[in-house]
Structure 1
Amino acid sequence: MTTDDLDACLRLLGNQQRRQILRYLRRDPAGIATIEELIDVAAEAQGGSGSVRSGERDRLGVQLSHAHLPMLADRDVVTYDREDGTVQYRPDERIESVLDALAENTPQATF
């Protein structure tokens, strides 16, 4: 992996929600999830979906739809179908090797 590839992977994985999304999609045999499932994953990463209020769920949905999923799709790590609200994982060996090297509880990077 080149330095530029590594830098791109680290930028992509520098956010806890994106790491959680990719881990969740990798665990699913088909690698497919709905936006609602991924909102639950993002809420869980913030301390539990049961403690997240409706307005916070809406904010998480907007972040996923307008920031995280497009970023992952631009890197071809996922395909994101806005019309049916599904996301499908597209394995990427470089991303997976960096993700596997990071502990699941790695704190979110602050830039």
Structure 2
Amino acid sequence: MQRETLMAEETELALDDAFNILSNSRRRYILYYLYTRGEPATIDELAGQIAAWENEIPVEDLDDTARRRVYVSLYQTHLPKLDDFGIADYDRDDGTVTLTERAEEIVRYLPVEESDHRDFTWYYVGLSAVAVVLLVAVAANVLVPAIAAVVIAVGLLALVGAQFLSRRSDGSRDLLELEDLE
């Protein structure tokens, strides 16, 4: 426990510690739920949702035993561990859990869904087609090679820049579906 507290005080989470945290599916579920929700949750809400995911049933169909089993493990083990590492603020008195800024250090190791990002595949195909046309024009002595090279290079740089800016401005990182977390 002392080592975990020391880790929370360091400026960056060690890779081994990040994988230690992510090694348990319930901790991954906690991170997923809080990260996608974007706001604090109670331990009751977490226990209910995690139990529902584990049993592959809606929250409203849960029995008290399944919910209680998850609640106890969250209360005794998983939430204190996330709190010790500074990933989440766990207030035992209120029963609330809030992700900290440090959570970004751990969430980055989880797979992200790419569906929110613009697909640039067809842009690259189009640029490749333009490059082929330009190369044919150069081979037929219709176009100067230097002009073709400049057009292709500028097009490629513009496309890569647009893709970079698109991903950077997206900002939100949605996690993959829950079955991919296990």
**Which structure: larger Rg?**
2
* Identical counterparts, % of pairs: 35
* Aligned residue runs from structure 1 range 67-106, under 5 A: 67-92=77-102, 93-100=104-111, 103=176, 104-106=178-180
Q: Does 1:65 align with 2:139?
A: no
The equivalent of 2:44 in structure 1 is: 36
Q: Tell me if the contact between 2:87 and 2:101 (Cα under 8 Å) persists in the aligned partners.
A: yes
Unaligned runs of 5+ residues in structure 1 are: none
CA shift for structure 1 position 28: 2.2
Unaligned runs of 5+ residues in structure 2 are: 1-12, 113-174
Distance 1:8 1:69 in 2: 15
Q: Tell me if the contact between 2:34 and 2:98 (Cα under 8 Å) persists in the aligned partners.
A: yes
The equivalent of 1:5 in structure 2 is: 14
TM score, norm. by length of structure 1? 0.80
The structure in which a higher percent of residues are helix is: 2
Q: Secondary structure at the match of 2:109?
A: helix
The structure in which a higher percent of residues are strand is: 1
TM score, norm. by length of structure 2? 0.51
Q: Which structure ranks higher in relative contact order (CA pairs < 8 Å, sequence separation ≥ 6)? A: 1
Q: How many residues align?
A: 104
What residue identity is the alignment partner of 2:49?
A: V
The equivalent of 1:23 in structure 2 is: 32
Distance 1:66 1:60 in 2: 10
Q: Tell me if the contact between 1:21 and 1:41 (Cα under 8 Å) persists in the aligned partners.
A: no
Q: Secondary structure at the match of 2:68?
A: helix
Q: Secondary structure at the match of 2:97?
A: strand
